[in-house]
Amino acid sequence: MTRPRRVKLQTLGCRLNEAELEAWGEAFHRQGLEVVAEDEPADLIVVNTCAVTQEAVRKSRQILRKSHRAHPEARLVISGCLASLEGEALAREAGVDLVVGNADKERLVDIALEALAIPAMPALAITDIASPLFRRGRQRAFVKVQDGCRYQCTFCITTQARGEERSRPVAEVIETINRLQRSGIDEVVLTGVHLGGYGSDLGGDLASLIRCILAETDVARIRIGSLEPWDLPDRFWPLLESPRLMPHLHLPLQSGSDAVLRRMARRCKTAEFARIVALGRQVVQNLNVTTDIIVGFPGETDADWRQTLEFVEAMQFGHIHVFSYSPRAGTLAASLPDPVDAATKKARCQALQRLARRSKRAVMRAQVGTSVPLLVEGGQQDDPEGSRAGYTPNYLPVRLVGTPMPAPNQILDVVLTDVDETAERLVAQLKV
C-alpha cells in the first residue's frame, strides 16, 4: 500500500476526550497516517469512550457498534473511561481489535501501530499540527493540561476511571500552544478532569500556568474549560482582564439545594457559588457563566427542587447542561436511599429546560447591538448554504449572515443584530 493509512477519530463526553483525540490526530500524522472526516472511509477507527453516566455508556457502545457496521474492514481501537472500567467486556464486542485503558492512552498511537501491525510511513507525514483539526471541521484546539481528580463526589465515576491528578509541565503546554498557533490555530481551550487542581503535583497552580501562557504565547484567544467553583480564589479574577482570555466560565453547580449538595459531597454550597459569580461579574464585563445541574438526585424533595429553580433563575446562566440522574454502578450515590421516580425526574427536567431557555435568551438579548470579534467557523447542518457559525468571546452561539461570506478560521468584527430564539443563537453581520 503506497497511500497513507486513513484513521478516523471519534469521541463523546467531555472536552478532555476531545483534547486527547486531537493529540492522537497529531501523533498519527507524524507517523504518516491521514486523519479523515466523519463521512470518509477509514482503515483504522479510534473511539474515545465516556462512562460518566449510564447514558454515556450506552452511547459509547452505540458508537463503536455503528462504526463497525459502517466500516467492517477497518481495525477498531477503543479507549477512554469506559475502556478503563469495562475493558474486558468491550474487548468481546464484535469488531473490536484493541482496547487501550486510560493508563496507557498517552502511548495509544504507538501501541495501536505495533499491536495491529500497521506500518508507520513517516516519509508521508504532514508536519502541520492543525491539519487533523481542520480535516474534522474544527477551528479551535483543546489542550489537555491535567488529568485525574482528588475529590470524591458521590455521583462521579471519573476518579476511578482517570486516577490520581497529573499535570503537564508548563513548558510542554506552552510548546503545544505555540505549535498550534504557528499552524493557524487562533483559539485554544485548556482542559482537564480537575482543571482547577492544575499544578498540585508540580508546585504550581492554574493561575500561574495562565500567566505563563499569556506571556510566552501569541495565540489570540484562550478559553478555560470546566472549573470547580471552589478552585477560583479572588486572585484569579484579574487574569480575565486580559483581552486574550475569553470572558466565559463553566462552573458546575449540580444542584441549587444545599441539602442535595451535601449528599453529593460537593465542596461549594449555594451562598459561596453566588458570591463567586457576583465577584466575577463585577470584575469581568459580559462574563457568561454556564453550568451543569443533575435533576432527581436521590433524596431530592419538592422543597429541594423549588430551591434549585429559584437559585438557577437568580444566577442568570447563559447555558445549562441538564442531566437526569441515573444510578452509576460503582459510585456511592447508587446506594443512597429515596430515589426519585422517573416521572418526577422527567417533569423536573422539562421545567428546568424551560427555565434554561428563558435564561439563555435573556443573556443573548442583552448582547444585541454590540460589536464583538468572532472566530468564524463552518456552517452548521441546519444553516442555509454559505452561512457561517461561531461563538462570541463569552461563548454565545452565533450565525453569521449577509454577503460577502468570509472563509472559516478568521477572527472578524461582527455586529450582533438579533436573536434566533428557535435555534437559540445570536444573528450577526460583518461590521462595515
Domain ranges of the chain: 6-124, 139-238, 247-366, 371-430
Q: How confident is the model at residue 386 (pLDDT cuts 50, 70, 90)?
A: low
pLDDT category at 321 given cuts 50, 70, 90 is very high
Instruction: Give percent of the chain with pLDDT exceeding 70.
Output: 94
In order of 284, 305, 428, the CA distances from 413 in angstroms are: 20, 42, 10
Write down the pLDDT at residue 140. 87
Q: What is the fold of 6-124?
A: Rossmann fold (3.40.50)
CA dist list (Å): 129 to 45, 123, 346, 403: 20, 16, 44, 31
Buried b (16+ CB within 10 A) or exposed e, 336-352: beebbeeeebeebbeeb
Asked whether residue 208 carries a pLDDT value surpassing 90, the answer given is yes
Specify the pLDDT at position 137: 61
Predicted confidence (pLDDT) at residue 373 exceeds the cutoff of 80: yes
Q: Is the pLDDT of residue 236 over 60?
A: yes
Residue 320 confidence class, pLDDT cut points 50, 70, 90? very high
Contacts of 168 (CB under 8 A, 6+ apart): 144, 145, 146
Pair 183, 219: CB distance under 8 Å: no
Looking at domain 247-366, which of 3.60.21.10, 3.40.50.620, 3.10.20.30, 3.30.750.200 is its CATH number? Answer: 3.30.750.200
72-94 mean pLDDT: 93
> Does residue 135 surpass a pLDDT of 60?
no
- Confidence category of residue 383, pLDDT binned at 50, 70, 90: low
Q: Can you give the pLDDT at residue 408?
A: 87
Reported pTM: 0.89
CATH code for the domain defined by 139-238: 3.30.750.210
DSSP structural state of residue 107: G
Going by pLDDT thresholds of 50, 70 and 90, the confidence category of residue 281 is very high
Q: 220 near 175, Cβ under 8 Å? A: no
pLDDT surpassing 90 at residue 15:
no
**Does the pLDDT of residue 90 top 80, yes or no?**
yes
The answer to whether the peptide bond before residue 404 is cis (omega within 30 degrees of 0) is yes
What band does 214 get if pLDDT is binned at 50, 70 and 90?
A: very high
| Domain 371-430 of CATH type 2.40.50.140 | yes
Q: pLDDT value at position 385?
A: 60
Least confident piece of the model among 20-24, 106-110, 376-380, 401-405: 376-380
Query: Phi then psi for 39, rounded to 5 degrees?
Result: -95, 10
With cut-offs at 50, 70 and 90, classify the pLDDT of residue 14.
confident
Determine which of 217-226, 380-389, 418-427 has the lowest per-residue pLDDT on average. Answer: 380-389
Q: Residue 159 — pLDDT band, cuts 50, 70, 90?
A: confident
Sheet holding 140-144, edge to edge: 140-144, 187-191, 221-224
247-366 and 371-430: identical CATH topology: no
